[in-house]
Amino acid sequence: MTTSLVHSCFHRGHEQVVFFNYPDFGLRIIIAIHDTTLGPSLGGCRMREYASEDQALEDVLRLSEGMTYKSALAGLPLGGGKAVILCNPALQEGRQALFHKFGECLNALAGRYISAEDMGTSVRDVMWMREASKFVVGTDPKQGGAGDPSPWTALGVLEAMRAAVAYRSGGDPSLKGKRVSVQGIGHVGMHLVKLLSEQGAKVSVSDSHEDALIRASQEFGATAVPLEAIYDVPCDIFSPCAVGQTVNKDTLKRLSCSIIAGAANNQLPDRSVYEILSAKKVVYCPDFAANSGGVICVSAEMRQGAPDMKWVDKKVRGIFDTTTQVLVEAERRGRFPEEVAVELAKERIAAAKSRRQP
Ligand SMILES: NC(=O)c1ccc[n+]([C@@H]2O[C@H](COP(=O)([O-])OP(=O)(O)OC[C@H]3O[C@@H](n4cnc5c(N)ncnc54)[C@H](O)[C@@H]3O)[C@@H](O)[C@H]2O)c1
């Protein structure tokens, strides 16, 4: 591990970073627990072939810290954590044994970290983890789980968009007639396109999967555009729902939107784009506020009894108020919304700490 990454662990405030190494299972895991002030850390398990171990560590540190702010801002009694398995996600042979072993690693952490599915892992993998450990959520609804979080993530993004539209217009949240460009129509994006079409929005979509483009246009009347062209389509709202960092200094030269709200994590590469977005008067909905519907959904499995999907629905619709609060506070504090969202999350954590002090 390089000195700068060790520094990064301490500097970002991580409580614990654990490495598990089982060559017989082809299993190399890093689990990062960022903050457990509000409750056990929760975050998905990402399976990915990284260019280097350092890159994997950097990823898990960044993602686990983001989970702390996401859950705190959503008002969940949870901390932030994340796991990465350094492995080809297409692996089939020995997969079940690998996830059993992963479950044993969770047991070693005794509930300080709760896992779930993420990029490269699925409900099936989670069910294999579950065979070895109870510290798992995002399980199969047929076996008492809350089910696929993606539709809830999409609903939360829709609520964030409505809040941003209301904030800009001075009250009316209607998306009717609004031109929305959705980049990436996978699990979340396709649900979002459906919801937007129901709201009367005019939707443009891009994705490399031809089948998805056909479905979005035939079922929901969306206009499909080539991957790169999505940045040039005149629109009111740009919604990144594919990968991170697509809102950058190059794409911002082309985007005509006045609002950005999407599901992708880490949409902005760094703080340098704050100035560009502010100068263009773009209302930016922080990604970890807009996309918290998924963690709200899976966290329902940690409450007493069967997952209460009415509670999930109400909580996810609360993303409207959370986004409004962030945008209003950002204006009041003269800060960028993403900074203020982190500040609000940290204030909640600090308040919980001070309540605990004798
Ligand atoms: N699934 C959830 O509940 C959830 C929760 C929080 C955050 N997120 C984040 O939201 C994003 C979408 O999640 P998902 O579950 O829908 O993932 P997904 O893999 O199902 O869908 C992503 C889609 O984006 C497409 N894509 C990739 N690169 C693209 C590009 N450059 N231009 C256009 N399309 C591109 C892919 O072909 C795919 O169809 C991810 O960044 C994910 O981390 C998802």
Residue 82 shares a structural domain with residue 174? no
Residue to probe by mutation, ligand 1, list 241, 246, 288, most atoms within 8 Å of CB: 241
Residue 104 lies in a domain: yes
| Strands 16-22 vs 27-35: parallel, antiparallel or unpaired | antiparallel
Atom of ligand 1 at shortest distance to CA of 148?
3
Statement to judge: residues 36 and 185 lie in one domain: no
In the reported structure, the alpha carbon of residue 244 is separated from the centroid of ligand 1 by a whole-number distance in angstroms of: 9
> Closest ligand 1 atom, CA of 294?
3
Q: pLDDT digits over 217-259, tens only?
A: 999 999 999 999 999 999 999 999 999 999 999 999 999 999 9
Encode the chain (358 residues) as per-residue pLDDT tens digits: 566 788 888 889 999 999 999 998 889 999 999 999 999 999 999 999 999 999 999 999 999 999 999 999 999 999 999 999 999 999 999 999 999 999 999 999 999 999 999 989 999 999 999 999 999 999 999 999 998 899 999 999 999 999 999 999 999 999 999 999 999 999 999 999 999 999 999 999 999 999 999 999 999 999 999 999 999 999 999 999 999 999 999 999 999 999 999 999 999 999 999 999 999 999 999 999 999 999 999 999 999 888 999 999 999 999 999 999 999 999 999 999 999 999 999 999 999 999 887 6
Return the number of other C-beta atoms located less than 10 Å from residue 53's C-beta.
15
What per-residue confidence (pLDDT) applies to 2? 60
pLDDT for residue 284: 98
At 90, list the tokens: 């297409």
Do 123 and 169 fall into the same domain? no
Task: Sheet containing 283-284: give its strands across.
Answer: 223-224, 202-206, 179-183, 237-240, 259-260, 283-284
Q: Report the C-alpha gap between 39 and 78 in whole angstroms.
A: 4
pLDDT tens, position by position, 113-122: 999 999 899 9
Distance in Å, CA 263 to ligand 1 centroid? 8
Task: Tell me: do 200 and 337 sit in the same domain.
Answer: yes
Which pLDDT score, from 0 to 100, does residue 1 have? 59
Total domains in the fold of the chain: 2
Q: What is the CATH number of the domain that holds 154?
A: 3.40.50.720
Residue at 140: amino acid letter: D
In-domain check, residue 350: no
Q: Which of 123, 187, 228 to mutate to test the pocket of ligand 1 (most atoms within 8 A of CB)?
A: 187
Alpha carbon 313 to its chain centroid, in Å, reads 17
Which atom of ligand 1 lies nearest, measured to the CA of 150? Answer: 3
Q: Which atom of ligand 1 is nearest to the CA of 209?
A: 37
What separation in Å is there between the alpha carbon of 9 and the centre of ligand 1?
27
Cβ neighbours of residue 296 closer than 8 Å, sequence gap 6 or more: 74, 76, 152, 156, 312, 315, 316
Q: Which pLDDT belongs to residue 7?
A: 83
| Cα–Cα distance, 147 to 311 (Å, whole number) | 14
Q: For a substitution probing ligand 1, which of 73, 188, 194, 227 has the most ligand atoms within 8 Å of its CB?
A: 188
- Residue 37 CA to residue 43 CA, distance in Å, equals 15
> Does 314 participate in catalysis according to the annotation?
no
Q: What is the pLDDT of residue 358?
A: 65
- Spacing, Cα 339 to ligand 1 middle (Å): 24
299 belongs to a structural domain: no
* pLDDT score at 129: 97
**Cβ 186 vs Cβ 213: under 8 Å:** no
Cα distance between residue 107 and residue 111, in whole Å: 7
The protein residue whose alpha carbon is closest to atom 10 in ligand 1 is 264
Q: One-letter amino acid identity for 93?
A: E
CA atoms within 13 A on the CB side of 115: 38
Q: Is residue 4 part of a domain?
A: no
Cβ atoms of 32 and 12 within 8 Å: the answer is no
Choice among 70, 82, 178, 194 that is catalytic = 82
Residues 194 and 285 in one domain: yes
Q: Which atom of ligand 1 is nearest to the CA of 188?
A: 16
From 243, 250, 285, 312, mutation site for ligand 1 pocket: most ligand atoms within 8 A of C-beta = 243
CA-CA distance, 350 to 352, in Å (whole number)?
Answer: 5
> Bridge partners of 221?
none
What is the pTM (predicted TM-score) of this model?
Answer: 0.95
Residue nearest to atom 25 of ligand 1 (CA): 184
- Distance from the CA of 356 to the center of ligand 1, in angstroms? 39
Q: Which residues are paired to 41 by β-bridges?
A: 79, 113
Task: Give yes or no: residues 158 and 130 share one domain.
Answer: no
Asked whether residue 73 is domain-assigned, the answer is no
Residues 205 and 333 occupy one common structural domain: yes
Quote the ligand 1 centre to 300 CA distance (angstroms): 23
Ligand 1 binding pocket (C-beta < 6 A) is: 119, 149-150, 153, 183-189, 206-209, 212, 227, 241-243, 263-265, 291, 294
Find where tokens 């000195």 sit. 3
How close is the Cα of 347 to the center of ligand 1, in Å?
30
- Please tell me whether residues 220 and 254 are part of one structural domain: yes
| Ligand 1 atom closest to residue 189's alpha carbon, by position in its atom list | 16
Q: Which domain holds residue 197?
A: 150-293+320-345
